[in-house]
Amino acid sequence: MADCVFCRIASGDLKARIVRETPELVAFMDLNPQAPTHILIIPRKHTASLAACKAEDEALLGKIQLLAAEIAAELGVSGGFRLVTNCGRGAGQSVDHLHYHLLGGRRMNWPPG
In DSSP terms, 29 is beta-bridged to 39
- Sole binder of ligand DGP in the list 19, 50, 83, 95 (CB under 6 A): 95
Instruction: Mark whether 99 is an active-site residue.
Output: yes
| CB closer to ligand DGP out of 39 and 77 | 39
Task: Tell me which stretch binds ligand DGP (CB under 6 A): 60-68, 71-79, 86-94, 103-111.
Answer: 86-94
- Sole binder of ligand DGP in the list 2, 3, 23, 32 (CB under 6 A): 32
Task: Tell me which stretch binds ligand DGP (CB under 6 A): 25-33, 51-59, 64-72, 74-82.
Answer: 25-33
CB 61 within 8 Å of CB 55 = no
Helix boundaries (H) for the chain: 5-11, 58-74
| CB closer to ligand DGP out of 7 and 60 | 7
Q: What is the closest distance, in whole angstroms, from the C-beta atom of residue 61 to ligand DGP in the complex?
A: 16
* Interacting residues of 71 by C-beta distance below 8 A, sequence separation 6+: 19, 20, 27, 39, 41, 102
Choose the catalytic residue: 46, 97, 99, 101: 99
Q: Per-residue b/e over 30-53, b at no fewer than 16 CB within 10 Å? A: beeeebebbbbbbbbeebbbbeeb
